[in-house]
């Protein structure tokens, strides 16, 4: 059994903090403040932490570092949290996942006995015949697939996520000896350094080592054990004012131009560094043998971490499988902690020079077996016995009773960050590891990720690379090589990828429960490339995303397909390196998007408006009932805030030429004081915008655009000005001017009362503009009629917004002036059959089909879209946008429903168009709208069928332009 220790023969034990407790599946677990969930669970004798994905096999702590999936739990309602990485808090509620009815007794484990029946991709092959069985099977499979459950009602659903930014000179990722040394190297070069580590404290694996440091460049560190030396190094760094340290922060991606993404709690850090040093280190290599996934099998560094950081021995009787002196170091730590080390099994043949810790183990009389390795583990929820035998497989030689099997078979560099989603690691036979070497300029790497080992060497290489990184343009090359010198006995030879020892449970990918036999079967089925093999067998596609197994997968695939180790290229590794909470990526939406308010915003609020989000704008939707507001405009006097319109002033000697070029209309005879309807088309001839253009003063033109295109059209104008070289000035007044539309039969009478100019129909006719003032404020008047009533749009400097609104409201009291909103305006314009580009049109709408071809004069010289406009005209139309009305009392279609052509039988139905806008007209007491229909259905008075969302059909009648006041008498009166 695992237990907490109070003394250790060879080192001091850490301070564990105060005593606290939390619950795991309802059971109270005592812990110390510095415990991780995993260490607290192990110390309390819990060896079973989770169940595997497919076969529901028992799983326990493995690397205690959160690289694998074994420690996924739900913490305080937040699912899929790695228990290895979470420090315990008093009263924390931890639940296991993927087990039913309980972790100890999981019915899903039945799957384990079905292994032969659930091969890879079984869902592609099984349950498909007879056909009716699949929907039932799929339902069951989906029910059991997946891990934690999201608690949408929990408090985390409303957690606030932030984005943060850093711009250091040098960003060092990894706080182990090489990362610390690199930081020191860069700091000594006078740079601003950001050092990031994903553990609660700096130091990396050196914190868990008692190997003495010797021959270190930094002489102050010599003579100390590594855990003390690294602490001294950290103390040295603390004295630098230019260093920022971030712990508990996991870097999950390195992107172009040294952009680093890191998560710390609920914060996303975007770090743009001049240069980056990656020192992610390495983890213990995977070993594949029968039942290699059983609880009680742990990595050497995991065991060292438990002892040195948490004062926990994870077992009483241990067997250590190793191929280097590090395994003997682990054995010594276990022995010093009071555990019985039954044997150390060394994969190397005898005859090698003996390492320092191997000597000590031999002196202690612990049996050492050479040239052997683990063949099989026995036991279900905890290992009980281990068989060992030769590397070549075959029969086992020995068997040991034990409750802990430690794997120390070499190191697997964490190349994920170095590969940046595109660079494939290559097998380096001299170092027996996968490496990524060709990093882009400004990105450097150092340490165990290149197979460098030993504190002194890690330090030397780290400092050197840190100094190189102070010059982002330099590179790691022949002048600045990685430490390559190795004595033959320092290289950790890789064991065979799999020990051929019989049994069906040699797990390659523990996350997805893929065994060696399944991988072989997939290769036999033809998936013999590492990429196809991965997709078919789902190896490396589980929660750890191949961190644990990608090297093993590559080597086994090479072995099974007869390739050499050099050709064992692993699958591409992409960000994120560690699991990232979706909320962190989403950030604080929608609050980070700017909100744009018109100058009348407060006036709207005072009137109890309902707002409408139009892009970033807050516009008044309506103040009361839009249907009633329509009546106000039709029978009296209304006012709407149209400040969100784009407003562009064009002047200069060539202003008229510019307009002739930009707009499809003709402006040669455009008199001062006139206003015209204008459309805009792209070079492709497609209608994308409409508005008005006014000649307000000699040589000064004023263009209005719709809300949505306010910015886009300004940018477009700027671009054309650049490439076409007109002598004009274009001024974007969109935000400088506020605008209101005052409309209704009484609008003239009302305005005449407050302005000095003659507003009569003769002096100021329809489609004209005038300059005047209201209450001393200069105002431009445009007599236009989007609503279908007599109306005036007034534009004036935005800073007078509120006072103008209040002035008009009080002056308009005797005319019963009432504001109305955008929804009301939509009904008003539909009664008049006015289209809104991009609401009623799309990227395929020619102006001729949309019924605004009259605004194109293609007989003039060059203009934007001329070639395609001419082509559209020649080709004629296929569809048409028509205004329609329904019978009184017919239900109102939803926007976007289909127009149908119904043949002889009810089943003979063809889609012949669609409704783009549809509203109930309170004026006409029936539905009105706009719809695209086939040309032959678009004749005046023709009937067509609209199918509603509920499946009912209504009949619509094509109108000539408008349902309300088709002759436009009210507009022009």
Partner 1 sequence: MMPLSQYNVEQKMGNSFSHLPPLDLCVLYQKKTMSFQLNCPNCGKRAVSEFTFKSELKTRPAADADFSEWTDYVYFRENNMGPQTEWWFHSSGCQSWFLVERDTTNNTDHRSFWYNDSEQPDNN
Nearer to partner 1, 387 or 858 (CB): 858
Q: Answer whether 689's CB lies under 8 Å from 706's CB.
A: yes
Q: Which stretch binds partner 1 (CB under 8 A): 323-331, 390-398, 484-492, 859-867?
A: 859-867
Q: Which is nearer to partner 1, 124 or 255 (CB)?
A: 255
Q: Within 864-883, which residues bind partner 1 (CB under 8 A)?
A: 866-868, 871
The span from the CA of 955 to the CA of 424, in Å, is 63
Helix%, strand%, coil% for the chain, nearest 5: 25, 30, 45
**3-class DSSP assignment, residue 20:** strand
Q: How far is the CB of 168 from partner 1 (least distance, A)?
A: 15
Closer by beta carbon to partner 1, 240 or else 868: 868
- Whether the link from the prior residue into 590 is cis, omega within 30° of 0, is yes
- DSSP assignment string, 344-380: EEESSPTTSPPPHHHHHHHHTT--EEESEEEEEEE-S
Closest approach of Cβ 442 to partner 1, in Å? Answer: 9
CB 13 to partner 1: min, Å: 44
Smallest distance, Å, CB 862 to partner 1? 4
Cβ nearer to partner 1, comparing 335 with 649:
649
With CB under 8 A as the contact rule, the residue among 117, 153, 353, 861 that binds partner 1 is 861
Nearest to 488 by CA among 353, 358, 369, 362: 353
Q: Nearer to partner 1 by C-beta: 333 or 864?
A: 864
Q: How far apart are CA 171 and CA 255, in angstroms?
A: 13
Q: Which two tokens stand for residue 972?
A: 């022009």
Stretch that binds partner 1, among 4-12, 199-207, 421-429, 933-941 (CB under 8 A): 421-429
CB of 683 to partner 1, least distance (A): 5
Q: How far is the CB of 530 from partner 1 (least distance, A)?
A: 11
Binding of residue 420 to partner 1 (CB under 8 A) = yes
By rule CB under 8 A, what count of residues binds partner 1?
27
Q: Output 604 or 866, the one with its CB closest to partner 1.
A: 866
Q: Cα 245–253–538 angle (5° rounding)?
A: 135
Closest CB to partner 1 among residues 100, 715: 715
90 or 564, CB closer to partner 1?
Answer: 564
* Closer residue to partner 1 in complex, CB, 272/857: 272
The tokens of 227 are what? 């855990």
Rg (CA), the chain: 38
Least distance to partner 1, CB of residue 944, Å: 33
Which of these ranges, 171-179, 250-258, 690-698, 744-752, lies near partner 1 under the rule CB under 8 A? 250-258
The 267-306 contact track toward partner 1, x by CB under 8 A, reads -----x----------------------------------
Q: How far is the CB of 576 from partner 1 (least distance, A)?
A: 11
Token pair in block for residue 819: 């504001």
Q: Which is nearer to partner 1, 419 or 644 (CB)?
A: 419
Nearer to partner 1, 567 or 895 (CB): 567
Neighbours of 98 (CB within 10 A): 22
DSSP 691-751: EEEEEEETTEEEEEE-STTHHHHHHHHHHHHHHH--S-EEEE-TTTEEEEEEESTTHHHHH
CB neighbour list of residue 94: distance below 8 Å, 6 or more residues apart: 22, 23, 24, 25, 37, 73, 74, 75, 83
List b or e across 381-405, with b for residues whose CB sees 16 or more CB atoms inside 10 angstroms.
bbbeebbbbbbebeebebebebbbb
703 vs 778: CA distance, rounded Å: 18
Interface with partner 1 (CB under 8 A), residue from 214, 401, 437, 441: 441
Contact region with partner 1 (CB under 8 A), list: 254-262, 328-336, 353-361, 560-568: 254-262
Q: 677, exposed or middle or buried, with CB in 10 Å at 0-12, 13-18, 19+?
A: middle
- Pick from 432, 474, 475, 572: which binds partner 1 (CB under 8 A)? 572
Region 631-690 residues binding partner 1, contact defined as CB under 8 A: 683-684
Q: Considering the rule CB under 8 A, would residue 438 count as an interface residue with partner 1?
A: no
**Closest distance to partner 1 from the beta carbon of 164 (Å):** 15
Mention every residue, 6+ apart, whose C-beta is less than 8 A from residue 155: 77
Q: How far is the CB of 185 from partner 1 (least distance, A)?
A: 24
Q: What's the closest the beta carbon of residue 197 comes to partner 1, in angstroms?
A: 23
Burial 63-96 (b: 16+ CB within 10 A, else e): bbbbbbbbbbbbbbbbbbbbbbbbbbeeebebbb
Q: Determine which residue in the list 93, 259, 595, 672 makes contact with partner 1, applying CB under 8 A.
A: 259
Beta bridge partners of 705: 646
Q: How far is the CB of 184 from partner 1 (least distance, A)?
A: 28
| Least CB distance to partner 1 at residue 443 (A) | 11
Residue with smaller CB distance to partner 1, 21 or 529? 529
709-768 positions binding partner 1, by CB under 8 A: 715, 718-719, 722-723
Per-residue string for binding with partner 1, 813-842, x by CB under 8 A? ------------------------------
**Beta carbon of residue 866, minimum distance to partner 1 (angstroms, whole number):** 6
- List Cβ neighbours of 674 (8 Å cut-off, separation of 6 or more): 694, 695, 767, 768, 769
Residue from 421, 576, 673, 797 touching partner 1 (CB under 8 A): that is 421
Q: Which is nearer to partner 1, 719 or 854 (CB)?
A: 719
> 554 near 286, Cβ under 8 Å?
no
Q: Using CB under 8 A, pick the residue from 185, 302, 575, 837 that binds partner 1.
A: 575
- Pick 7 or 718: Cβ nearer partner 1: 718
Q: What's the burial of 378, exposed, middle or buried (CB within 10 Å: 0-12/13-18/19+)?
A: middle
In the region spanning residues 501 to 530, those forming contacts with partner 1, defined by CB under 8 A, are none
- Residue 473 lies near partner 1 (rule: CB under 8 A): no
Nearer to partner 1, 214 or 441 (CB): 441
H/E stretch holding 782? strand 777-782
Cβ atoms of 798 and 643 within 8 Å: the answer is yes
Q: Alpha-carbon distance 390 to 367, whole Å?
A: 17
* Closer by beta carbon to partner 1, 254 or else 774: 254
Q: Which is nearer to partner 1, 472 or 801 (CB)?
A: 472
What contacts 342, CB < 8 A, 6 or more positions away? Answer: 317, 318, 319, 367, 400, 401, 402
- Alpha-carbon distance 324 to 332, whole Å? 14
Q: Are 506 and 290 contacting, i.e. CB atoms less than 8 angstroms apart?
A: yes
User: Looking at the chain, how many residues does it have?
Assistant: 973
| Smallest distance, partner 1 to C-beta of residue 719, A | 5
Looking at the Cβ atoms of 24 and 872, the one nearer to partner 1 is 872
Among 255, 736, 760, 903, binds partner 1 (CB under 8 A): 255
Q: Which of 776, 783, 771 is nearest to 807 (CA)?
A: 776
Give me the least distance between CB of 869 and partner 1, in Å please. Answer: 11
Q: Is 338 left (phi over 0), alpha (psi -120 to 50) or beta?
A: left
CB of 872 to partner 1, least distance (A): 12
Beta carbon of residue 711, minimum distance to partner 1 (angstroms, whole number): 8
Chain positions contacting partner 1, by CB under 8 A: 253, 255-257, 259, 272, 420-422, 424, 440-441, 572, 575, 683-684, 715, 718-719, 722-723, 861-862, 866-868, 871
């Amino acid at each position: 059994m695992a237990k907490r220790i109070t003394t250790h023969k060879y080192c001091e034990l850490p301070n564990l903090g105060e005593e606290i407790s939390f619950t795991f599946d309802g059971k109270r677990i005592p812990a110390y403040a510095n415990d991780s969930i995993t260490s607290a669970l192990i110390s309390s004798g819990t060896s079973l932490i989770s169940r595997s994905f497919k076969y529901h096999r028992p799983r326990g702590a493995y690397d205690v570092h959160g690289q694998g999936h074994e420690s996924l739990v739900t913490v305080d309602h937040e699912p899929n949290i790695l228990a290895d990485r979470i420090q315990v808090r008093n009263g924390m509620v931890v639940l296991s996942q993927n087990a039913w009815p309980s972790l100890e007794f999981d019915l899903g484990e039945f799957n384990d006995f079905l292994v032969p029946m659930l091969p890879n991709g079984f869902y592609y092959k099984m349950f498909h015949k007879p056909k009716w069985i699949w929907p039932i099977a799929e339902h069951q499979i989906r029910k059991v697939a997946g891990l934690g459950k999201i608690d949408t009602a929990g408090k985390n659903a409303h957690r606030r996520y932030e984005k943060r930014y850093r711009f250091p000179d040098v960003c060092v990722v990894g706080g182990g000896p090489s990362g610390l040394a690199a930081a020191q190297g860069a700091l000594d070069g006078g740079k601003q350094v950001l050092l990031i580590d994903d553990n609660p404290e700096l130091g990396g694996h050196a914190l868990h080592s008692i190997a003495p440091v010797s021959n270190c460049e930094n002489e102050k560190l010599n003579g100390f054990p590594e855990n003390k030396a690294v602490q001294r190094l950290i103390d040295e760094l603390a004295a630098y004012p230019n260093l920022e340290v971030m712990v508990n922060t996991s870097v999950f991606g390195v992107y172009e131009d040294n952009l680093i993404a890191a998560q710390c709690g609920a914060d996303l850090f975007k770090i743009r560094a001049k240069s980056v040093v990656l020192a992610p280190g390495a983890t213990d290599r995977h070993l594949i043998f029968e039942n290699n996934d059983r609880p009680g099998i742990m990595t050497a560094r995991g065991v060292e971490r438990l002892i040195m950081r948490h004062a926990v021995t994870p077992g009483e009787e241990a067997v250590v499988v190793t191929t280097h002196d590090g395994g003997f170091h682990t054995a010594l730590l276990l022995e010093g902690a009071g555990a019985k080390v039954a044997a150390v099994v060394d994969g190397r043949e005898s005859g090698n020079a003996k390492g320092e810790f191997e000597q000590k183990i031999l002196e202690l009389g612990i049996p050492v077996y050479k040239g052997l390795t683990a063949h099989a583990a026995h036991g279900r929820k905890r290992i009980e016995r281990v068989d060992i035998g030769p590397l070549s497989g075959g029969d086992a030689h020995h068997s040991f009773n034990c409750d802990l099997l430690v794997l120390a078979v070499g190191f697997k560099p964490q190349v994920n960050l170095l590969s940046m989603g595109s660079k494939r690691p290559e097998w380096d036979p001299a170092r027996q590891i996968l490496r990524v070497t060709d990093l882009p300029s400004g990105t450097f790497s150092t340490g165990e990720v290149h197979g460098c080992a030993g504190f002194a060497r890690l330090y030397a290489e780290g400092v050197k690379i840190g100094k190189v990184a102070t010059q982002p343009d330099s590179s790691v090359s022949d002048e600045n090589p990685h430490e390559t010198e190795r004595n033959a006995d320092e290289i950790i030879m890789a064991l065979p990828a799999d020990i051929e020892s019989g049994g069906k449970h040699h797990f390659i990918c523990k996350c997805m429960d893929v065994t060696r036999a399944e991988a072989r079967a997939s290769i036999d089925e033809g998936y013999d490339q590492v990429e196809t093999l991965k997709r078919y067998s789902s190896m490396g596609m589980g929660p750890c995303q191949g961190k644990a197994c990608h090297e093993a997968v590559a080597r086994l695939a090479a072995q099974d397909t007869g390739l050499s180790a050099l050709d064992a290229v692993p699958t591409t590794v992409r960000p994120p390196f560690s699991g990232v909470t979706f909320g962190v990526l989403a950030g604080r939406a929608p609050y980070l998007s700017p909100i744009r308010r018109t100058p009348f915003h407060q006036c709207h609020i005072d009137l109890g408006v309902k707002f409408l989000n139009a892009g970033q704008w807050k516009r008044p939707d309506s103040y009361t009932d839009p249907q009633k507001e329509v009546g106000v405009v039709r029978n009296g006097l209304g006012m709407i805030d149209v400040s969100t319109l784009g407003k562009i002033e064009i002047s200069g000697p060539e202003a008229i030429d510019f307009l002739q070029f930009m707009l499809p209309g003709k402006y040669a005879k455009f008199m001062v004081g006139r206003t015209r309807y204008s459309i805009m088309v792209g070079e492709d001839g497609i209608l994308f915008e409409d508005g008005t253009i006014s000649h307000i003063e000699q040589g000064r033109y004023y263009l209005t655009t719709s809300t949505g295109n306010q910015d886009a059209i300004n940018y477009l104008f700027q671009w054309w000005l650049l490439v076409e070289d007109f002598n004009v000035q274009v001024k974007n007044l969109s935000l400088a001017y506020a605008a209101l539309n005052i409309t209704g039969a009484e609008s003239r009478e009302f305005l005449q009362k407050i302005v000095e100019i003659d507003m009569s129909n003769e002096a100021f006719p329809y489609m004209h503009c005038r300059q005047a003032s209201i209450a001393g404020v200069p105002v431009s008047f445009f007599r236009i009629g989007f609503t279908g009533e007599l109306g005036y749009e007034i534009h004036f400097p935005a800073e007078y917004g509120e006072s103008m609104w209040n002035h008009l409201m009080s002056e308009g009291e005797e005319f019963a002036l009432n504001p109305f909103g955008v929804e009301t305006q939509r009904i008003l314009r539909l009664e008049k059959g006015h289209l809104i580009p991009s609401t009623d049109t799309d990227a395929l709408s020619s102006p001729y089909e949309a019924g605004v071809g009259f605004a194109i004069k293609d007989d003039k010289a060059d203009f934007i879209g001329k070639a395609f406009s001419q082509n559209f005209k020649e080709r004629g139309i296929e569809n048409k946008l028509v205004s329609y009305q329904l019978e009184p009392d017919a239900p109102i279609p939803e926007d976007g429903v289909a127009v149908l052509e119904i043949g002889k039988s009810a089943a003979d139905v063809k889609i012949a168009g669609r409704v783009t806008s549809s509203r109930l007209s309170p004026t006409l007491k029936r539905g009105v709208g706009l719809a695209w229909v086939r040309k032959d259905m678009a004749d005046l008075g023709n009937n067509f069928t609209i199918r509603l969302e509920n499946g009912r059909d209504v009949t619509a009648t094509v109108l000539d332009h408008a349902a309300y006041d088709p002759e436009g008498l009210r507009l022009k009166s």
